[in-house]
Amino acid sequence: MNADHLMLRLRQIKRGSLPAEAILDVVDPLLELLDLVTTDNVSIPAAGENSVFIAGDLFSADRKILMQRNTDAEILLKAYGHKPLNPLSLIPEGFGWQSAMRISFTALIKNCTSIALLPEWGRSRDAQTQFLVASHLGYNVIML
């Protein structure tokens, strides 16, 4: 599998033509492909103890609304001693969905040990896919 095939699969999941569970077929190749996909000009913080990825939509609503939701989640997670990673803070303004997914998966897999699910995560194909990858890799799951 190559990066183009992976992104095609992710687009099909986003559109709803494949269930989010279809990502599990490509998780192991995904780990290898992350070294090949580019996240040019994006700085992803180093992994650390109690690092938690905030799973959620990357594009379904106004960016300001999504950013506020994730900022609120960051504050809550910090209050409980976690080091949250807000994927929206990593994605530069104007990046497309494919680039955003590459950045978010790179951050999730290489830089976190847990995943935090926002209350509406089940309605988000992005969050469902992020959750399935994290759970397949044995990450801790935090329900917000």
Asked whether the beta carbons of 130 and 55 are under 8 A apart, the reply is yes
Look at the pTM and tell me if it is higher than 0.85: no
Domain ranges of the chain: 3-39+50-143
Task: Inform me whether the pLDDT recorded for 53 exceeds 90.
Answer: yes
Q: What is the third-level CATH fold of 3-39+50-143?
A: Rossmann fold (3.40.50)
Looking at residue 83, what is its pLDDT? 92
Q: Mean pLDDT in the chain?
A: 81
DSSP 8-state class, residue 55: E
Place of tokens 């290898």: 32
Residues 6+ apart with CB under 8 A from 118: 54, 55, 56, 69, 73, 127, 144
φ and ψ at residue 143, rounded to 5 degrees: -90, 125
Asked whether the beta carbons of 139 and 48 are under 8 A apart, the reply is no
Beta bridge partners of 114: 52, 140
What's the rounded mean pLDDT across residues 48-56? 83
